Chains A and B, each alone.
Chain A
Amino acid sequence: MNEAQPAVPVTPAPHALAAADYKSDIKPVWCPGCGDFGVVNALTKALAKMALEPRNVAVVSGIGCSSRIPAYLSSYGFHGVHGRALAAGTGLKIARPDLTVIVTGGDGDGYSIGGNHFLHACRRNVDMTYIVMDNRVYGMTKGQPSPTTEPDWDSKLSPEGTGLREFQPMVVALASGANFIARAFTGDPNALADVIVQAVRHPGFSFVEVLSPCVTFRPEQKEWKKIVRSDALRPTADVSRAARRMLRDTGFELGVLYAGERPAYAPRGPRATRPVADLEARFEL
């Protein structure tokens, strides 16, 4: 365990579930070598480490390669419509605060079609974890540029590239109020599992950007394992420091960039559990 990823206290599993117990018997549709396999491995390790019972975990996703994850787990899952996973997860967590809610998806789902929900999920700071598998491409629709794709990446839909600068998820998350922001690499499932454990345990909205190569449409991303710098970051609760760090960011420094102290979302105002019929008095003459 390095300094950037401090050891996480591990609660002994009541039923001693292993990581494999969190996997379903459904075979993933992903290409051989896809980075997303590493995320399933890391996520199941993290769940085992936290000794969370599968019945109390809900993994929520939208549409895209990485959004297929819920079906590959033995926990509860929700595979909804494109771009709205954070909204569905938010509703689930607020309606059922007793559950551990983990939202998963890709860069297109989260930063493009779901971009508005990303802003407001950060802002709302509901106690849940959002894992984005960023491969800088739309894989399921066979290779179109996503918001994080480099401007000169050539594709059929955008010959010679989009010419657009990349979306900056970390800075956006910080500015929007996410309470925990980390970057990890799918090639190191143990380190990723540790980050996920920290993210789940951190109060409020935790955002984990995972570099997850697309071996089919972005084969050059196989080189990421040589570029990532796993010891690069220490957590800070200082927003200015985190912001400076993100603005200098190469996109390949791994670790926790920010761990804030905002209290998680909670409904405000007085609350009660009176019988519904008591409300009739409001209408009576």
Chain B
Amino acid sequence: MQQFDTPGADQPPRRNGASIVLVGSGGAGVMTAGNMLLEAAAHAGYYALMTRSSGPQIRGGEAAAMLRIATHPIDCMEDRFDVLAAVDWENVQRFNAEIPLGAASLIVGDPDQGDPPEVFLRSGAARVSLPLKKIAKSVPEGRANMVLLGTVAALLGLPDEAVAHAVERTLGKRPAALAPSLAAVAAGCAAADAIELRYLLATPPAASGPRWLLTGNEAAGYGALKGGVRFVAAYPITPATELLEWLSPALAEVGGTLVQAEDELASINMVIGGSYGGVPALTATSGPGLSLMIEALGLAVAAEIPVVVVDVMRVGPSTGIPTKSEQGDLNIALHGLHGDAPHLVLAPNSVADCLRTTQWAVQLAEALQAPAIVLSDQFLGQARAVVDRPADLEVAASRELAAAAAPGYRRYALTESGVSPMAIPGTAGVAYTADGLEHGERGSPSSQAADHFAQLDKRRRKLEAWDYGDGWADLEGDPAAPLAIVTFGSCTGPVREALARAAADGLTARLVSLRLLAPLPAARLAAALDGASRVLVIEQNHSAQLYKYLRGECDLPGKVVSLHRAGALQFHPDEIHRHLLEWSRA
């Protein structure tokens, strides 16, 4: 659904966006070229988003760098790619489902590497041959991926200066590789003259403020630090590992520490121990790791110890598809804990929002002395995006501490707010034992029903009485429209875009993208949906987990239906748009 600026009489049409996928076998350098293209687009003033896919080999498998470049902010990939450009075709057909093409698309390949796989040609896309390797050989030390970069940049009309800047930024530390790369890019650019089709980008509007280039995992890591986290313990797991690898040196710079634990059982108990010691603490994992952490999260609820778990969701159950996205951990995040264990569940809804939501989760966990689970996912976590610098979180909250020698100190005092001041080891006169055993107000173990009731109420009260402000959801669209969509997480991007397209057709709707999933702000949700006659709940899992949760927790108005689909492939705007149109006619 590409929109075009009106072209001048002798000018090719300028587009507000284009999608490109670079493919090749391991070592062909398509990821490097993709990152350079992303940086070039950023430098030229565009917004951009890049996801990557690779074969199952540990090293050296076929790879695809998938990019979308646009004049406006973007939170998801396009329905189809405009350009499929290949260094070679080895095993690239594996990515077929991830690389939708159309009749207006273009396939660029090196004739010496054979024909493009039939599955791509069937799309009706135009096809051009460029002798990439031969062109590369014409440049001393030239490489085909750099030739391809030059060609694609020319097809998009990216300024030479922006591409050169990106190449220099990447190869600045390897001056020997710089000149040959720039020459190969120039040769690729010149070779594009032979291609008639163009996907020229419109000139982007001037940036209204600073832009950042980052992944959702990096954004979540930075959000954690901004929230005050100074201790992290974690076990490597795809696709959360990059979050930890970003945090490890970053923590060292700001006076914090990261420990690689022996397993996720250790991770969660280490961070609970660190937080008990007064240091805001976080761990990051994916579904299998979250499963192992669940018992200790119950301890954090009972002992009222703040802790944050970022779950970068991947396809499950079990090992599932570790490199692909799905929103299938909602149920375990909401309901996995044994006993009645109120806690926080939040979900970022864009790459940039990983920062804000994680920061907020740390603040809420600290202020409410409860565990918070942040449901990111593989798409948000690993997508690298050019975004406007995220606005600073306008709220602040922190842990309420007990003063030294507070008279008659009761760690689990039954306060009106439910929050009771927490003594930190080192504070004199208020020592207590944090306990997973049910306890009375002083913290002494108790098996009395009255203590159990009172502490259950306290732990629920503190979460329900808190004023979460406007951050609980992003409310967009026409607030009076009879049609409403409720969604969360990475589905929000394609939903936003589908709604924009529907609006162009005259179909308006209101959007509720939930950031706070538990405790569910039922009254605010009811107000946001007031007067709606149809509610569509959209999520990426096989069993409509959000839909069932909402139906169990509150009365949704009008006719309520679910659009849910399992993961591995992200929703595209078109899929949701078509659904909306059909549904609005039904």
Contacts and interface: CB of A to CB of B under 8 A. Distances in A.
Interface of A: 26, 53-56, 58, 60, 70-71, 74-81, 83-84, 87-96, 98-99, 116-117, 119-120, 267, 269-276, 278-280, 282-285
B295 A81 contact: yes
Nearest to A100: B425
B445 A84 contact: no
Interface SS of chain A: mixed
B425 A99 contact: yes
A278 B255 CA distance: 13
A279 B433 contact: no
Contacts of A56: 425-426
A96 B428 CA distance: 16
A257 B253 CA distance: 40
Contacts of B254: 272-276, 279
B262 A117 contact: yes
A87 B274 contact: no
A96 B225 contact: no
B432 A95 contact: no
A16 to B, nearest CB: 16
Contact of B436 (A74, A80, A87): A80
Which 3 A-B pairs give the minimum distances between C-beta atoms?
A77-B433, A91-B270, A91-B273
A267 B389 CA distance: 32
Contacts of A81: 269, 295-296, 298-299, 436
28 contacts: A26-B444, A56-B425, A56-B426, A58-B276, A58-B425, A71-B445, A77-B432, A78-B303, A79-B437, A80-B296, A80-B299, A84-B266, A87-B265, A87-B266, A90-B273, A91-B273, A91-B275, A92-B274, A93-B273, A96-B277, A117-B265, A267-B257, A270-B252, A271-B253, A272-B252, A273-B254, A279-B253, A285-B43
Nearest to B213: A285
Interface residues of B, number: 62
A96 B270 contact: no
B175 interface: no
A94 B431 contact: no
Contacts of A283: 212-214, 218, 222, 389
A96 B279 contact: yes
A76 B431 CA distance: 5
B191 interface: no
B386 interface: yes
A95 B266 contact: no
A269 B257 CA distance: 11
B124 interface: no
Interface in B259-282: 259, 261-263, 265-267, 269-279, 281
Contacts of A87: 261, 265-267, 269-270, 273
A96 B231 CA distance: 10
B444 A84 contact: no
Nearest to A99: B425
A285 B433 contact: no
A91 B252 contact: no
B210 interface: yes
Nearest to A85: B269
B155 interface: no
B233 interface: yes
B71 to A, nearest CB: 16
Nearest to A78: B434
A78 B273 contact: yes
Contacts of A285: 42-43, 210-213, 386
Contact of B253 (A60, A78, A278): A278
Contacts of A88: 269-270, 272-273, 276
A3 B426 CA distance: 36
A84 B431 CA distance: 22
Given A90-B273, A282-B218, 18 more contacts: A71-B433, A71-B444, A76-B425, A78-B303, A79-B445, A83-B265, A90-B266, A92-B277, A92-B425, A95-B274, A95-B277, A95-B278, A99-B426, A120-B262, A269-B249, A272-B253, A284-B210, A285-B42
B237 interface: no
A94 B231 contact: yes
Given A77-B432, A84-B265, A284-B210, A90 B259 contact: yes
Nearest to B279: A95
B96 interface: no
A91 B426 contact: no
Contacts of A58: 276-277, 425
A74 B303 CA distance: 18
A269 B436 CA distance: 36
A120 to B, nearest CB: 4
Interface of B: 42-43, 210-214, 218, 222, 225-226, 230-231, 233, 249-250, 252-255, 257, 259, 261-263, 265-267, 269-279, 281, 295-296, 298-299, 303, 386, 389, 423, 425-429, 431-437, 444-445
Nearest to A58: B425
A171 B259 CA distance: 26
Contacts of A93: 273
B288 to A, nearest CB: 16
Contacts of B213: 283, 285
A95 B273 contact: yes
A271 B250 CA distance: 10
Contacts of B226: 276
A280 B431 CA distance: 39
Nearest to B434: A78
Contacts of B428: 53, 55
Contact of B431 (A54, A79, A89, A120): A54
Contacts of B210: 284-285
Contacts of A71: 433, 435, 444-445
A55 B222 contact: no
Contacts of A116: 262-263, 265-266
| Most central of A77, A272, A285 by chain B CB within 10 Å | A285
A45 B288 CA distance: 44
B39 to A, nearest CB: 8
B341 to A, nearest CB: 13
A90 B268 CA distance: 11
Contact of B434 (A77, A90, A279): A77
A90 B431 contact: no
A285 B384 CA distance: 13
A36 B125 CA distance: 78
Nearest to B425: A76
A79 B435 contact: yes
A80 B275 CA distance: 13
Nearest to B442: A26
B252 A271 contact: yes
A80 B295 CA distance: 10
B425 A91 contact: no
Nearest to B231: A95
A55 B433 contact: no
| Most central of B257, B269, B276, B432 by chain A CB within 10 Å | B269
Contacts of B423: 76
Nearest to A68: B445
A273 B271 contact: no
Nearest to A84: B269
B425 A96 contact: yes
Contacts of B299: 80-81
Contacts of B263: 116
Nearest to A277: B226
A279 B246 CA distance: 11
A92 B265 contact: no
Contact of B281 (A26, A89, A91, A272): A91
A273 B281 contact: no
B277 A75 contact: no
B255 A271 contact: yes
A277 to B, nearest CB: 8
Nearest to B212: A283
A91 B259 CA distance: 8
